[in-house]
Structure 1
Amino acid sequence: MEIKIYKDKQEVAEEFSVYFLEKVKANDIFHVALSGGSTPKIVFDVLAENFADQVDWNKVHFYWGDERCVPPTDDESNYKMTVEHLFSKIEVPEGNINRILGEKAPNGEAMRYANLLEIDLDREDGVPQFDLVILGMGDDGHTASIFPHEIQLWNAEDHCVVATHPDSGQKRVSINGKVINTAKEVAFLVTGASKAEKVEAVIKKTEGSEVYPASLVNPKSGKLVWFLDEDAAAKLNQNPS
């Protein structure tokens, strides 16, 4: 595990973008699972503004680790956010964008997306393998859309599952833990003081931390990188890089 701590959310986004660029350049084809949330939004802005012409977007194939079951025009859609902050500003082939169809019936869409991953990606022990999975973490320790109250979905048989938000009841389609841990590399983007407690619990494996889905992220490749700001890392007692 590698832990990188930066001053603020903006610096996290800038440093992650450099890391992302290096990963893309090192591969002929690059399959990445994107995350929603406020930090990826800034990452997409940085990529579009600073690196749009430095990346061969033809070789980057975009997927999502999870999506809310809403139409692509809805403000809650991870896809819509990515279009607004990244895709609308770069030259990327439409065929490289593989969105989860949030407007479809959740169970059927989870099956369709799992099948798409099986077709598009190489498989490791029968599990589709991304080059990179980008994850966020909620204040409750959830990641992708696997929440603590449904932690059993982590090891679900199906590569994609239907999750339910514990408060709103909103349905979401999410990749499962096997897909996350089969990725060649996994990167957490976590910022803000509200995340500090769970960051400490998950990274230090404190007692009881196993109830947080984020604590189950342990890629077989051994390549797990945390990109944190000082606020999120406040309880780790480490100096900023």
Structure 2
Amino acid sequence: MSLPPGERIAARPAAEGQRPDVVVEPDADRLARDVAAALVARLAAAQAVHGTARVVLTGGGIGTAVLERVADLAREPARERVDWAAVDVWWGDDRFVPAGNEERNELGARRALLDAVAVPAERVHAMPPSDAGFAEPEDAAAWYADQLAAAAPEGAMLPRFDVLLLGMGPEGHVASIFPGTPAVTDDRTVVAVRDCPKPPPTRISLGFPALNAAEEVWLLVSGAAKAPAVAQALTGGATPGELPAAGVHGRRATRWLIDVDAASELDREG
């Protein structure tokens, strides 16, 4: 059953009884545009409170489309403004391939947004590529964990993340945490992923402890192929091992921002 845009969903409670907020948009383009506007507002609000904003980016088609729409908004002078010189950018995962490889989430984000809005180089915290001097992905993951800890308050392992963006695969993976893989149970903030079931096989990913440390987690999902996993994550009681998307939640809010096709197997709130 396809839900109309704006319909509320009877989502199961997330961690500590938190009920996710589910927003359904009519199509992928409207989803990208509305998420972009919401992201600009959220970053501006964070800067109003803290002076800076911190965002964790995702890759994939919808994630890149959101960044392109954010870049469009930055060119419109009447829009709410973000001081991009005071935004720290992190990543949820990236592919352990050479820096210029088209598979890199970092490369896509730079093209879509970061270069256009001139985020300072020292505020762009990319996960290392395979040609950055790390012999093994485990070494690169440990380095990234150290970078996170260095940006954190004294005694903490992670900085404040105002909003963390995630895509989701048809089997329910988020970042590079796939069902039934060692990353599901790894308690480190950053993990190396080998033999990934989706190419490229070697990656670096934030682990659940880091993903779930964000103030807000936004899951961006588009397309009918992902509808079964959306329904299972929101209403089916799946475990994180079976469906990693079911194991992510923000400290203050968890938002599922999806299109009608991705919502097609959800029930209306009765």
Instruction: Give yes or no for the alignment of 1:31 onto 2:39.
Output: no
Partner-residue secondary structure (3-state), 2:165:
strand
TM-score w.r.t. the length of structure 2 is 0.82
Distance in 2, matches of 1:228 and 1:124, equals: 37
Q: Structure 2 residue aligned with 1:178, among 209, 213, 227?
A: 209
* Paired residue total: 237
Q: Give aligned-pair identity as a percent.
A: 28
**Can you list the C-alpha shifts for 1:177-209, whole angstroms capped at 9, x where unaligned?**
011111111000000110000000001134677
Query: Displacement of 1:3 after TM fit?
Result: 0.4
Between stretches 191-200 and 118-127, larger displacement belongs to 118-127
Distance 2:243 2:262 in 1: 16
Amino acid at match of 1:77: R
Alignment RMSD (CA, Å)? 2.0
Q: Secondary structure at the match of 1:31?
A: strand
Partner AA of 2:96 in structure 1: C
From the superposition, tell whether residues 56 and 168 of structure 1 become closer, same or farther in structure 2 (CA, over 3 Å).
closer
Q: Which structure 2 residues correspond to residues 98-113 of structure 1 after superposition, within 5 A?
A: 98-103=125-130, 104=134, 105-113=136-144
Q: Any gaps of 5 or more consecutive residues in structure 1?
A: none
- Identify the match of residue 162 of structure 2 among 119, 124, 131: 131
Which whole-Å CA distance do the structure 1 matches of 2:43 and 2:243 have between them?
30
| Residue identity in the other structure for 1:114 | A
Using the size of structure 1 for normalisation, the TM-score is 0.91
Is 2:100 the partner of 1:73? yes
1:11 aligns with 30
Are the structure 2 counterparts of residues 213 and 123 from structure 1 closer, same or farther at C-alpha, using a change threshold of 3 Å? Answer: farther
In structure 1, the partner of 2:254 is: 224
1:96 counterpart = 2:115:
no
The structure with the largest alpha-carbon Rg is: 2
Moved more, 154-163 or 205-214: 205-214
Q: Deviation digits for residues 200-223 of structure 1, max 9, x if unmatched?
A: 00011346775111111133x241
The answer to whether structure 1 residue 156 and structure 2 residue 179 are counterparts is no
Provide the rounded CA distance (Å) in 2 between the counterparts of 1:209 and 1:184: 20
